[in-house]
Structure formats: C-alpha cells, structure tokens
C-alpha cells in the first residue's frame, strides 16, 4: 500500500492499529510498523500527526526489541539444554531429532 496517497489522518490511524494489534502477542506487526512508518515519522517534513506517529513507531521499536531479546534467550537456552532436561525437554518438543540425544 502506498502511503503517499493516504491523507495524514489515515496514516495515523493505520499506525495506531498496527501498534495496538501488536500487543496481542504479535511482534511481527510491530516490526512492520517500524519498517513502514520509519520514513514517515523521521524523514518527512513536519505535519500535525507526525508527532504521534513518531511516538507509535518508537514504542513499537521498543516492544520489538523486548520480544527479540526474550525469544533469543529462550531459544538459546532450549537448544542448548534440551538434551539435559530429559523428560521435560521431550514433552516441550514438537519434533525430536532421531539418533542424537
């Protein structure tokens, strides 16, 4: 969708929708928000709604970073320690590799 042809109010409302929807455990929406509205928020000449769009983009970026940190930590721990957890590791796994612990 081309943001150029949208009026500013609609841009703001779109940004807000993506921001709010991202709270439903959907960090990818925040990623989309940041990438899509980055130019709009920081590199366009000022207009009234830009301040709020900037705020939403910043908060989406923050939430995104938090999610990335949490997921990376969990994935690293799981991949490293799954074999040692024995039964718990097996019950948490969706597919268990064959032939290796």
Partner 1 sequence: MCFFLSLSLAGVGCNSVEKKIYVHLNNTVPCVRLLNATHQIGCQSSLSGNVGVLHVLESEENLDWVLKTGPNPPYLVILESPLFTRPIMMKLKNGSSRVAGVAVVAPNANPPKGFSPHTTCPNENTGVYTEEYDPAFAHCNVTMWNPLGNGLSYEEYDFPIFSMKDDNDTQIIRQCYLDHNRAVNGSTPQYPLCAMQLYSHMSAVTDTATCMRRNDINFSISPEMVCDPLGDYNVWASTRPINNTAKGHKMFESVVIAAARLDSRSFFFDIAPGAESGVSGFVTLLAAAQALRNATQEAQPNRTILYTFFQGETFDYIGSSRMVYDMQSNQFAVDLDNVHSVLEIGQVCIVNSFSNLCVLLKTLTTASRGLNVSVEEPGFSQPLPPSSFQRFLRARPIPGVVIEDHQSAFTNRFYESMYDNAEYLNVSYPTNMTPEEQLEFVTETAKALTEVATMVARALYIQAGGAETQLSSINADPQTVTRMLYGFLVRTNNSWFQQLIPSDLASHLGKLGHTFLKISEPTLLVQYLLANLTGSTPNITQDNCQNQREDEEDKESKHVRPKALNTAPPNSTQREGYCVRSTVRLSKALSPAFDLRDYTSTNFSTWTESRWKSIKGRIFLVASHDLEADMLFSAGREPANATY
Element (H, E) at 71: helix 50-85
Does 79 interact with partner 1 (rule: CB under 8 A)? no
Q: How far is the CB of 8 from partner 1 (least distance, A)?
A: 47
What's the rounded Cα separation, in Å, for the pair 40 and 5?
A: 13
Does 90 interact with partner 1 (rule: CB under 8 A)? yes
Please, which residue, 43 or 91, has the CB nearer to partner 1? 91
What's the rounded Cα separation, in Å, for the pair 52 and 26?
A: 21
46 DSSP 8-state letter: P
Please, which residue, 20 or 92, has the CB nearer to partner 1? 92
Binding site residues, partner 1, CB under 8 A: 86-87, 90-91, 93-96, 98-101
């Amino acid at each position: 969708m081309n943001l150029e042809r949208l009026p500013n109010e609609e841009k703001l409302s779109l940004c807000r929708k993506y921001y709010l929807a991202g709270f439903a455990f959907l960090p990818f929406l925040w990623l989309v928000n940041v990438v899509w509205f980055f130019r709009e928020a920081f590199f366009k000449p000022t207009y009234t709604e830009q301040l709020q769009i900037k705020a939403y983009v910043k908060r989406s970026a923050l939430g995104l970073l938090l999610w990335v940190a949490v997921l990376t930590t969990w994935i690293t721990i799981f991949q490293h320690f799954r074999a040692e957890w024995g039964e718990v590791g097996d019950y948490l796994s969706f597919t268990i590799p064959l032939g290796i612990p």
